[in-house]
Structure 1
Amino acid sequence: MNRYARQIALPEMRPEGQDRLRNARVVIVGAGGLAAPVLQYLGGAGVGRIRIVDPDRVEVANLHRQTLFREADVGSPKAEVAAAALRALNRDCRVEPVIAALDPANADTLCKDADLVLDCADSFAVSYILSDTCRAKGLTLVSASVIGLGGYAGAFCGDAPSLRAVFPDLPRSAGSCAEDGVLGPVVGVIGALQAQMALALIAGIAPSPLGSIVTFDGSNLRFGGFAFTGAPEPAQAPRFLAVSDIRENDFVVDLRSADEAPLVRPSAHRLPVTAFGPDGPSPDTGHRAVLCCRSGLRAWAAAERLSRVWEGPIFLVALGDPPPRYTPDGENE
């Protein structure tokens, strides 16, 4: 136990807490900037089993904040590179890389047998998909988001309200690091907060971070936060759907422009968000509305407008970006 002597010495940890870490099974969705400190701290602390889920490959633009990667890793799958780094850090940590994008069709399987799930994906849609999955399975979710010079980390679901309860309304933007920019140390701070929350939850350190959010504003170097243990779950909320689960008789709307992408399927209607309302289109009785866009943000906005005039089921599909092509030297075309 010499490896863990410094943390076992903590009265909050003791050998019993270390045993909980060793027996824990954790799923980490996203292997980028947030996952870099999360993986290193969880692996270093002795978490026994870690599944890393990420569909992407390392790009040069990742290197300023995704500190697990080196220039030689460009073009390689992030999940595999991160898993190799974790095995090199701690051979007792059993790591399973999964090169796949999490969606509503595979979320339940990917979170199977987990004790804790961490959302490090930098995706508006993935955060809500994981929240819905964890709430249904009774799992705790540690979710975080970083944009620009600020961000937050929070512990949701399990015995606490879900992410939907805390953020029930349409966000003003579903920005990402690629779109809005980000500074590397801010990502490191928020990722470290995620790791601390995860270790506290697994080891049973009191007071529990469950039901609380910690915020960080890197522009003035200030921390904040709040508890949300009394937040009510929304009565109605649009759920995300996998592309593979769209049915033939669904009323499918592609909210992307023609120059943005081809239709999600030939029978889909191409409409803007503003088309929905009192005089706008709606599905026939007994059918489902399936609203598609890149991030899920436009689909959510269209769902809000449609739900005011139609009471049937509405689902959202986040189609994401087309997968990049990589040249033999690993550069993104």
Structure 2
Amino acid sequence: MSRYARQMVLPEIGADGQARLAKARVVVVGAGGLGCPVLSYLAGAGVGSITILDADVVEESNLHRQPLYSMADIGQAKATAARRTLAAYNPEIEILAEVHRLEPANTVALCKDADIVIDAADSFAVTYTLSDHCLASGQAFVSASVLGFAGYAGGFCGARAPSVRAVFPDLPQSAANCATAGVSGPAVGVLGSLQAQMALSCLLGLDPSPLGRMISLDLRQFTTSSFSFSNAPEPHDGFGFVSVDDIAESDLVIDLRGAEEAPGVVTAAAHRSTVADVGALAGDARNRRAILCCRSGLRAWNAGLRLRQAGCTDISLIALG
């Protein structure tokens, strides 16, 4: 047990806590900037089984904030490269690599045996899909997001905590991403480390629990804040995400991607539209389900708001990546 001696001396952990970690099963969705510190510290702490889900490959532009990878890993799947590094780091634990995207259709199968689910993908669709699942299943859920020098990490769901939707019931009208707005490597590392500590605290049953709490930080201004949302009510009018395979013939499918972005629509029967023009299809959507599709889910969400204002009530979203 010399590997874990420095943490076992903590009264909050000890031999019993270390045994709990060894039996724990964790799913980490995303092996990028947030996922790298999450995976490193969970593996280092001796979490018994870690599943890594990521469909991306390592790129040179990742390396400034993803220290699990080296130049030799460029072009390789992140999930398998991370598994290889972590296995060399701690051969005592089980590490599974899943090289595909998280979809609503595979969420239950992926997460059903996990003691805690960690969202390190920094994607609207992934966050809400995982949060909806964990709220229904009662599983603890730790999520984070970072852009530039700032971001947040929070603990959601579990036995009593509210979901992400209770804190963020609506998406913004527009949003930047790391590719367009940039991101600080240390900021990502700090927030990923916070996620790892929240996950370990949940697995160890520490009091106070991180579930129902959020920490935000701005490393440009060197400010932090923390607040509890344990009493936040769950909204009942949000849009759920579905998979392409869930589309039925009776659905009205609206593809919000432009022809340059996506030369082919998501299905042969799909209508092309924009967020601004989607109201013209409201008449067709009032008596059947409308499925709105875009890359990240953000345009689909905003188009859904317009259809709802036009009287449509059955609306689902697809994020195509």
TM-score, scaled relative to structure 1: 0.93
Structure 1 residue 201 corresponds to structure 2 residue 197 = no
Which has the higher mean CA deviation after the structures are superposed, 84-93 or 257-266? Answer: 257-266
Q: Which residue of 1 aligns with 2:55?
A: 55
Q: Which residue of 2 aligns with 1:118?
A: 118
Structure 1 residue 25 corresponds to structure 2 residue 35 = no
TM-score, scaled relative to structure 2: 0.96
Structure 1 residue 274 corresponds to structure 2 residue 276 = yes
Q: Which residue of 1 aligns with 2:129?
A: 129
Q: Which residue of 1 aligns with 2:233?
A: 232
Work out the CA distance in 2 between the residues paired with 1:116 and 1:316.
25
Work out the CA distance in 2 between the residues paired with 1:136 and 1:11.
33
Superposition deviation, residue 176 in structure 1: 2.5
Work out the CA distance in 1 between the residues paired with 2:176 and 2:202.
29
- Offset from partner CA, 1:156-194 (integer Å, 9 cap, x none): 011200001100012243432223210100000000100
Q: Which residue of 2 aligns with 1:74?
A: 74
RMSD of equivalent CA atoms: 1.3
Q: Which residue of 2 aligns with 1:160?
A: 161
Work out the CA distance in 2 between the residues paired with 1:61 and 1:24.
33
CA contact (8 A) 1:54 1:79 kept: yes
Superposition deviation, residue 285 in structure 1: 5.3
Which has the higher mean CA deviation after the structures are superposed, 13-22 or 102-111? Answer: 13-22
Which has the higher mean CA deviation after the structures are superposed, 267-276 or 283-292? Answer: 283-292
Superposition deviation, residue 89 in structure 1: 1.0
Superposition deviation, residue 292 in structure 1: 0.6
Work out the CA distance in 2 between the residues paired with 1:218 and 1:255.
35
Work out the CA distance in 2 between the residues paired with 1:187 and 1:52.
18
SS at match of 2:282: coil
Identity of aligned residues (%): 55
SS at match of 1:40: helix
What is the correspondence of 1:280-295 to structure 2 with a 5 Å cutoff? 280-283=281-284, 286-295=287-296
User: Mind listing any 5+ residue stretches in structure 1 that lack a counterpart?
Assistant: 321-333
Work out the CA distance in 2 between the residues paired with 1:205 and 1:297.
36
What is the correspondence of 1:283-322 to structure 2 with a 5 Å cutoff? 283=284, 286-320=287-321
More helix by share: 2
Aligned residues: 319
Structure 1 residue 141 corresponds to structure 2 residue 162 = no
Superposition deviation, residue 315 in structure 1: 0.4
Which has the higher mean CA deviation after the structures are superposed, 74-83 or 172-181? Answer: 172-181
Work out the CA distance in 2 between the residues paired with 1:245 and 1:100.
18
Q: Which residue of 1 aligns with 2:257?
A: 256
Amino acid at match of 1:217: D
User: Mind listing any 5+ residue stretches in structure 2 that lack a counterpart?
Assistant: none
Amino acid at match of 2:182: G
Work out the CA distance in 1 between the residues paired with 2:285 and 2:293.
18
Superposition deviation, residue 65 in structure 1: 0.4
CA contact (8 A) 1:4 1:45 kept: yes
Q: Which residue of 2 aligns with 1:329?
A: none
Structure 1 residue 64 corresponds to structure 2 residue 93 = no
CA contact (8 A) 1:254 1:269 kept: yes
Work out the CA distance in 2 between the residues paired with 1:211 and 1:31.
25
CA contact (8 A) 1:142 1:197 kept: yes
CA contact (8 A) 2:286 2:311 kept: no
